């Protein structure tokens, strides 16, 4: 996304005034990670179609949006999620589901056990690993770490309590760390650490030229 949230906020405001160049700036800033989130819901084959439907609604309703860059990302994610769920219903399929929300009330571990998983989220291989998580954990991880939402915005998107989202994200990241460890031990699907913190490697979720949002640690969750 844009390196400075103030730039995204300014671009959104300009786009609301009809500036097409500003809207393209908003699209380039938000789309890669939004597409990654949609992939966790509908799978890769349908993700582009759902993303297109989402951006049509974003463009149509943009004049009604109020808020800064963080609120815009959350608003866009809610639209994308609704379009994805509509798509799933039309196809007669149901997304994978995790445990009952009551399972998410436990206190997360204090140790930062998922640092490796978070560093590896910039790679396409990790998308396949995220797909192995329960749906609640997959969505929480992508919204918190990839899209960059805070716990409150992610909770509003998912219709859950912030504490439940934090716990789901913790559990998902811990499971990702375990999966990454297994991949390294087997010599399959291992994801190398990403150099630096300012940019993500080129991948389906993070195309070249797209800057990475600020790193989030387990404590940030």
pLDDT in tens, the chain (221 residues): 445 689 999 999 999 999 999 999 999 999 998 998 998 888 878 999 999 999 999 999 999 999 999 899 999 999 999 999 999 888 875 544 333 333 222 333 333 434 445 444 444 566 677 878 898 998 998 888 878 888 898 999 999 999 999 999 999 989 888 887 765 545 433 333 333 333 333 333 333 333 333 334 344 45
Q: What pLDDT score does 11 carry? A: 96
Q: Decide if 76 contacts 38 (C-beta within 8 A).
A: no
Angle at 147 between CA 108 and CA 202, to 5 degrees: 115
Q: What pLDDT score does 147 carry? A: 85
Residues of the chain with CATH 1.10.10.10: 98-221
- Alpha-carbon distance 17 to 13, whole Å? 7
**What fold, for 5-91?**
Rna Polymerase Sigma Factor; Chain: A (1.10.1740)
Q: What pLDDT score does 146 carry? A: 79
Sign, CA torsion 199/200/205/207: positive
Q: What is the end-to-end Cα distance of the chain in Å, rounded? A: 19
3-state secondary structure of 211: strand
What tokens were used for 31?
């789309």
Q: What pLDDT score does 219 carry? A: 43
Q: What are phi and psi of 211, to 5 degrees?
A: -80, 150
3-state secondary structure of 105: coil
Residues of the chain with CATH 1.10.1740.10: 5-91
- Alpha-carbon distance 51 to 31, whole Å? 8
| Exposed/middle/buried for residue 3 (C-beta within 10 Å: 0-12, 13-18, 19+) | middle
Place of tokens 């997304």: 95
3-state secondary structure of 134: coil
Task: State the alpha helices, DSSP H only, in the chain.
Answer: 5-16, 20-42, 44-61, 69-91, 115-119, 124-130, 135-141, 151-158, 162-186
Q: What is the CATH number of domain 98-221?
A: 1.10.10.10
Q: What pLDDT score does 51 carry? A: 95
Confidence (pTM): 0.63
């Amino acid at each position: 996304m844009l390196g400075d949230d103030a730039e995204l906020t300014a671009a959104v405001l300009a786009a609301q005034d009809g500036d097409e160049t500003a809207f393209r700036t908003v699209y380039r800033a938000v789309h890669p990670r939004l597409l990654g989130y949609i992939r966790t819901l509908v799978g890769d084959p349908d993700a582009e179609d759902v993303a297109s439907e989402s951006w049509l609604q974003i463009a149509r309703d943009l004049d009604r949006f109020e808020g800064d860059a963080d609120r815009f990302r959350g608003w866009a994610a809610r639209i994308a999620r609704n379009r994805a769920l509509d798509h799933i219903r039309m196809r007669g399929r149901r997304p994978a589901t995790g445990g009952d929300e009551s399972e998410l009330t436990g206190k997360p571990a204090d140790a930062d056990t998922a640092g490796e998983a978070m560093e590896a989220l910039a790679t396409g291989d990790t998308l396949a690993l995220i797909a192995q998580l329960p749906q609640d954990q997959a969505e929480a991880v992508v919204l918190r770490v990839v899209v960059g939402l805070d716990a409150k915005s992610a909770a509003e998107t998912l219709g859950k309590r912030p504490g439940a989202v934090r716990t789901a994200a913790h559990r998902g990241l811990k499971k990702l760390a375990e999966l990454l460890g297994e991949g390294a031990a087997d010599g399959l699907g291992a994801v190398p650490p990403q150099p630096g913190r300012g940019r993500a490697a080129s991948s389906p979720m993070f195309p070249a030229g797209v800057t990475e949002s600020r790193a989030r640690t387990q404590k940030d969750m």
